[in-house]
Amino acid sequence: MKNYFLFLVYIAITSAEAQQRPKLVVGIVVDQMKMEYLYRFSDDFSPNGFRRLINNGYTFPNMHYNYMPTYTGPGHASIYTGTTPSTHGIIGNEWFSRTLGKEIYCTDDVLVKTIGDGTSKEGEMSPKNLQSTTITDELRLATNFKGKVIGMSLKDRGAILPAGHFANWAFWYSKTGAFISSTFYGNKLPDWVTEFNQEKRYMPYINTGWDLLKPVANYNESLADNNPYEGKVNGEKPVFPYDLKAMFDNNDASILRATPFGNDLLAEFAKKAIEKEELGKDNITDFLTISFSSTDYVGHILGPRSMELQDTYLRLDQTIADFLVYLDKAVGKANYLLFLTADHGGAENTNYLKDNKYAVTNIEPKEIRKALKQYSIDTFGEDLVLNYSNFNVFFNKAIIKAKELELVKVKQSFKDFLMTQEQVKRVYSEEEILGSSGNDYYLNFIAKGYDSKQNGDLIVLDKPGYIEYGATGTSHGTAYSYDTHVPLLFYGWHIKKGESFDKKAITQISPTLSQMLKIPFTNGTEAKVLEEILGK
């Protein structure tokens, strides 16, 4: 009897030790998801997708990005590093680097090669431009590299940046329809990935086409089909139903990106990864990062008020519901910790706002560049602007020096000119940004997104509602709430039900996970945590 009692004590202690960490952490990022969508589309959500996460998990409905620019690359990097672009160095998706004097892409790496059935350029990617560690890196270190980390997305940056420097693998979607990777991670794809790709699982979605999931009456939260604020989908009018097979025949498998089925394919791939990599099968914590990108493609092309976007979210709700059931069975309900957030929000279409009497407009970036060039030639006799992109103005210092001009006066001249432009709210110089004292709300956003070795000489803050984009669809990138306000849902292992309406910063996710997993903080974070979910 005594031995039996000791055995039970041993089992209890062993079980308690096993529960010090979850068996699997799943980080889900929904690209371009505004918090508003959880409210606007809620009547048509199932009980088992987003609602399950909300009703049985912890919700932070006032989560915001705390820097500018709000783009995909910086968003994914900030979620997982727990810091902002000024520290982690991913200051855009692509940007002109003042140090290198050329455009670079956030995950470019010419020293690695594509592995898998993709083009040579699609796989020349790695996390080398990411200057901070990620929560996934710290998990690898804390488990002596025994815990597995795998990242995946339709986008290379959505897979690579969350997975960090030490990931076992990162996989992203090629226009060939295959998931590929780079030699940064290995010399050949795992056999299960090759087998998955050979099955061409994208084709059933393409052959079926895209029609509304529910009766048209359910889409009363959206504008009419084929409204004037929508762009073309793969060259075709934005009208249901979509003949995806015809689009595929005229293009390639990349057409799946701008449909809800890109998300479905990725979820299939995630399940296969959990099965074949045996994620969550032992007591050493693994981490799977998933970034659903189709929402962003649909949003950019068709805008936030399109039936297509609503349909994409209704289908994503079903995809998440199905994935949760899979996790319950494959890992166990009490064994996984899941969080869901977004890399940025998105603006309303400016023409839609204008038609409803809000005097804003879109501005094509090429028109801004053209105006800057003309002003420079008229004022200084030469084009002194090296580059304008991502709200940054870069000056050609060599020409300024050769013409014996004072850089400070040149900056002021261009600031004065930019302030005459309809869309501009404020212009900040490098000196103002680096010397920011905390008294200017938006300057603080810009400072947290500014890397003095890479960013420009001036940063432009547009007025609310204006976007530097085309006339249809939408974009993002500003410091305003429509771009910064995203959902954050925690669910699963050691998560109590509840919600907090206190304003939170996206950089609090990573350090909170560090505390929950009892591992070191990432090396760039301020370590401000979400205390609400850390208590007993």
Q: Cα–Cα–Cα angle for 195, 197, 203, nearest 5°?
A: 130
Separation CA 509–CA 282 (nearest Å) = 25
Residues 6+ apart with CB under 8 A from 264: 205, 315, 319
Q: Supply 149's token pair.
A: 């980390």
Contact call for residues 504 and 530 (beta carbons, < 8 A): yes
DSSP 89: -
Three-class DSSP category at 536: coil
Three-class DSSP category at 204: helix
Instruction: State the DSSP string of 395-460.
Output: E-HHHHHHTT--HHHHHHHHHHHHTTSTTEEEEEEHHHHHT--S-SHHHHHHHHT--TTTS-SEEE
Active site annotation includes 472: no
**Looking up tokens 């850390």, which residue turns up?**
534
The number of beta carbons lying within 10 Å of the beta carbon of residue 184 is 22
DSSP 522: P
Which sign, positive or negative, has the C-alpha torsion 122, 125, 129, 134?
positive
CA 246 to chain CA mean position, Å: 30
Q: Cα–Cα–Cα angle for 346, 450, 364, nearest 5°?
A: 45
Q: Supply 398's token pair.
A: 């060599």
Dihedral class, residue 234 (left if φ above 0, else alpha if ψ from -120 to 50, else beta): left
The amino acid present at 67, given as its one-letter code, is Y
Contact call for residues 446 and 390 (beta carbons, < 8 A): no
Separation CA 93–CA 218 (nearest Å) = 35
> Could you tell me which of 95, 79, 160, 150 has the C-alpha nearest to residue 122?
160
DSSP 12: H
> Could you tell me which of 267, 382, 368, 285 has the C-alpha nearest to residue 326?
267
Contact call for residues 513 and 490 (beta carbons, < 8 A): no
Q: Which of 59, 72, 350, 522 is catalytic?
A: 72
* Residue 406 burial by Cβ neighbours in a 10 Å radius (0-12, 13-18, 19+): exposed
CA 268 to chain CA mean position, Å: 20
Residues 6+ apart with CB under 8 A from 71: 92, 93, 343, 344, 390, 476, 477
Three-class DSSP category at 212: coil
Separation CA 405–CA 398 (nearest Å) = 10
* Residues involved in catalysis: 72
